[in-house]
Each structure stands twice: as C-alpha cells, then as structure tokens.
Amino acid sequence: MTARIGLIGLGTMGAMLALNIAEKGFPIAVWNRTTQVTRDFAAGAGELSSRIVPTESLEELVAAIAKPRAIILMVPAGPAVDQQIEALRPLLDPEDLIIDAGNANFHDTDRRAAAASGYRFLGMGVSGGEEGARHGPSIMGGGAREDWDRVAPVLEAISAKYEGIPCATHMGPGGAGHFVKAVHNGIEYADMQMIAEIYGVMRDGLSMKASAVGEVFSAWNAGPLQSYLVEISAAVAKAVDGEKPMLDVILDKAGQKGTGRWTVIEAQNLSSPIPVIEAAVMARNVSARLDERRRGEAEFGAAPMALPPGAVTVAQLEQAMIAGKILCYAQGFDLIVAAGHEFGWDLPLPAIARVWREGCIIRSSMLNDMATALAENPGRNLMLAPFFAAHLKASVPGLRSVVAAGVAHGLAMPALSQGLAWFDMMRTGRSTANMIQGQRDFFGAHGFERLDQPGTGLHGPWGGHMA
C-alpha cells in the first residue's frame, strides 16, 4: 500500500492525528524514534490498521509515501523539529513537503520556511487537544499557498466542521499559521483565567460550593457564553473525589508550556496592547509562586474576600464574563492586525474567527458572531462593531460592579480588571498622557505636540531644569 501522507512522532497528539487521517480514508505511513511505539500503535489501531503503514526507519517511511510526499512532524516544539528536518532532508525530493504540526514558535517557523531548500515546508497550528486531534482539530496553516492547497484535501477532511465548513484555513506565508495559533493560545489563557476569577468570586466572595458553581457554569453554557471552556469548567466544578469536590483537592499552581508567553512577548514587540492576555500569563506565573503566596498570607493575612449580601449577583458575574470576553478578543484580533502589518501578512480576520468556531480549545458560539462582525466591519476594532458595541454597553456595568466589589474586598481579578481598564482607556478621548509628555520633555527635552498649535518638537517653560 502506498501512503498518501506520512507522520513522524507517535506521542498522544501524533497518534490521534494519524488515526484521524486513516479514518478519513487516507493511507498513512508512520514512524517513531522508538520502534516499539510504532509497533504498539499499529497493533492497537484496530480496523484502521488496514490504512496504516508502520515503518521502522526514516528511509522506509519516505519510501512508503506517494510522491510528491507530504510528511507531518508531530514532535516536541524546539530543537527536536530542527533535528528531525535535518535527518529527513537528505531523503527528500525538492517537491516533498514537511509539515510541522507542533506548537512551534512562529519565529522558528519563519526561519525554517526560509531555510527550506531541497524540500518544501509548512507550519501548521493544531488546536483541540487529544480529542480534537482524533476527531477534528482546528487547523491554522502557514507557508506557500500552493503547498497548502496540495494537502488541503487531507487537512480539511480531518478538521472539525462548523455547519459542514472545515475549520482548516491557510493563514498566510511562513509562520503565519503558528502566529495565529499563538494568539489562540493567549486567548485560551485569558478565557481560562477569567473563568477562574469568576469561580473565585463565587467560591470566596459568595461562599458557593463547587457543585453550585458548576450549575452556574452549566446554565451559562446555554446562553451567550456557550463555549468549550465554560462547558468543561462546569464539569470540573461538579466532579468529586469521594466526598470532596475535585476542585478542593487540586493544588492551585498552574502549569504552562510557554505559548501564552510568546503571545505577550510578541504583543510587546508590536506595541499592541493585549492586557487581558498579559494578566492571564502573569496570573499563571504568580500562581506558581506558592511558597511566596503562603508567606504573604502569613504576613498580611488573607483579604476579607466575603462579599456583603447583594454586593454582586450571579447575573452580574455573567455580564462581567461576557464583557471580559469581548474585550479580550478585541485585543487579540487587534494584535493579529498589528502582526499582519509588521510581517506583511494579509491575515484574514473573519476566516480566523471562523476557523476557531469548532475543534479548538477556545471554540464558542460567540466566535460565529465575531466572524460576522469582522466581515461586516473590516478595519474596525471588534469592540466598535455595532453588534459587540451593543453587547458591551449592556455588559460593562456588570463588569464594573464585579471588579469594584473585588477591589473593595480583596478578590483579585487581574484579567477582568485589566479588561475594564482597557475599555475605560479606549473610550477616553482626552487621556493623561499629556502629563507623560510633559515629564518626558522636562527631563529629556523629548518635545511634545500642543492641542492648540500644529507641529511637533515643542518644548515647555521648564527653565533651567531643561536637559
């Protein structure tokens, strides 16, 4: 049997992707560094094994694939990808295509795409975890359009579908696909953090049991907040370990593999404000400092946290989350626009929202509305698109009440409060940056513009203090 495609790396994600590809009718050749892993995978593939070609050397893998070949790499992001490319390179023909489907840093993907010689290269962001990989991930491709087109039939077939439309799209050249995946992950961090903050208000502010929190999330999942992350948060909150809620036995120390951080670093490089995502990454870092937090609590005492009766309603919490989510996505899409300008990518905003509607971790019903709003209002920040502007007008008062109660009673809500601060800044026509400009001119003669006089490089009457 000649394979239509090859796959290297049979870890959880690679194995699931390979089964998905085989199930959609494409014969696939697979290889793993440890041969036993390959053998076990093939032996466990059941009826799909008829479309799986297990191979025990790279030469065997390459020989098993129809020309021009396409080979998916599903190995840990970083040096392992470069090593794998190096090992494959001498075995490939110029038209053969390597597809890196790991969570690569998009700068690495750009570099690898530029260095590809004697083979072709695509970088592809894949979201949806193990389940997604097996039954339909969201796929964000980057590289040459013609290379994408060559493998699109396979990728579209294995991807998640939203009302029959494949969630697999070519985003642009080089690292564009992995960049969009990084923004996805930044938003993923922010969505998760906002849910955790609201859970905190319910747990510490309203003394609600985990099961009751779960019921609230389940109810929200039937409304505007319908999303995979709210759905699984309900399940997490309702789960028990014997008598105890699971949430009460899980250590409050969050892990991370770094993709959220990449998003924040890139946003800083691009001077593109994404404060909700930044706060979410910061919160993970603070969560990891468990000993210091415990020392802090011993020194200062825990904040009071308990809210007086009626201070915050569950309906306000829902509004806060709706507002926070819109603001976070507005920032995320803004970052994508900034990157598009900087890197010369024509990133298709509505198509990005569409590809996130199913399969990926941040999938939600709101993304369909975002896709529509972005298509109807090209070049406009999402928060100013009429549909979302109306939603913000209705939901920001709830966000403000929740954040105000949190500030008053010591319930930290970094992501939600950053969302609110950003909103307030973005609707302030006359900010306080005139003071910053005055300071800069005072100590560094950096100059400023005047409201009543055109022209730059003007200076203030700082006298002998002028630098």
Binding residues for substrate: 103, 127-129, 184-185, 189, 257, 284, 440, 446
Does 360 help bind ligand 6PG (rule: CB under 6 A)? Answer: yes
Contacts with ligand 6PG, 226-255, as mask; x by CB under 6 A: -----------------------------x
Binding mask 429-448 toward ligand 6PG (x if CB under 6 A, else -) reads: --------------------
Q: In terms of DSSP bridges, do strands 165-166 and 120-127 run parallel, antiparallel, or are they unpaired? A: unpaired
Q: Could you write out the DSSP letters of every residue in 151-199?
A: HHHHHHHHS-EETTEESEEEEESTTHHHHHHHHHHHHHHHHHHHHHHHH
CA dihedral 424, 326, 266, 362 (to 10 degrees): 160
Return the amino acid letter for 264: V
> Binding to ligand 6PG by residue 188, rule CB under 6 A?
yes
Residue 129 near ligand 6PG by CB under 6 A: yes
- Between residues 39 and 289, which has the closer beta carbon with respect to ligand 6PG? 289
CB count, 10 Å around CB of 343? Answer: 17
Contact 103, 133 (CB under 8 A): no
Question: Which residues are part of a known binding site for NADP(+)?
Answer: 9-14, 32-34, 75-77, 103
C-alpha 332/C-alpha 183 separation (Å) is: 6
Active site residue 188: yes
Is it true that the peptide bond before 68 is cis, omega within 30 degrees of 0? Answer: yes
Position 257 contacts ligand 6PG (CB under 6 A): yes
Concatenated DSSP letters of 349-405: HHHHHHHTSSSSTT-BTHHHHHHHHHHHSTTS-GGGSHHHHHHHHHHHHHHHHHHHH
Q: Which of 259, 263, 316, 395 binds ligand 6PG (CB under 6 A)?
A: 259
Catalytic residue among 131, 188, 278, 376: 188
Kindly state the tokens that stand for 288: 């990891």
Q: Which of 95, 161, 181, 376 is catalytic?
A: 181
Q: Is 256 in the site for ligand 6PG (CB under 6 A)?
A: yes
d(CA 32, CA 249): 37
- Using CB under 6 A, which of the segments 45-53, 125-133, 218-226, 401-409 binds ligand 6PG? 125-133
From first CA to last CA, the distance across the chain in angstroms is 77
| Shortest distance, position 437 Cβ to ligand 6PG, whole Å | 38
Nearer to ligand 6PG (CB atom), residue 214 or residue 260:
260
- Find the shortest distance in angstroms from Cβ 447 to ligand 6PG: 43
> Applying CB under 6 A, which residues contact ligand 6PG?
103, 127-129, 185, 188, 255-257, 259-260, 360-361
Catalytic residue IDs: 181, 188
